[in-house]
Amino acid sequence: MVNSHKDFVEKLQDPTYENESKINRQTVDGLKNDIDRLDEEVSNLKIINSEHKKLNGELRKQIEKLEKELKDKSEASLMKYHTP
């Protein structure tokens, strides 16, 4: 613990303290970079998820449409052969 100005100056001149400080700065900078990278990744995943939901909805509508067309054709075909 630093008790006086003189102790503080001595601590700053201590190479061990300087190295610890440098390592701490590098760690903080590294963590900031990780946070920025992860923020961008989350943003990209949100965009992908949104587009996936939109595409999934469109595909479901197409499937429903095709199923209805198939059902209508099947019913029309049955009626054609069963009409007296």
Under DSSP, is residue 14 helix (H, G, I), strand (E, B) or coil?
coil
Give 83's pLDDT tier (boundaries 50, 70, 90). low
pLDDT at 2 over 50: no
- At 4-41, the pLDDT tens digits run 767 766 766 677 767 777 778 888 899 999 999 999 99
State the pTM of this model. Answer: 0.55
Element (H, E) at 13: helix 5-13
SS3 46: helix
Question: 18: number of CA atoms within 13 Å, CB side?
Answer: 6
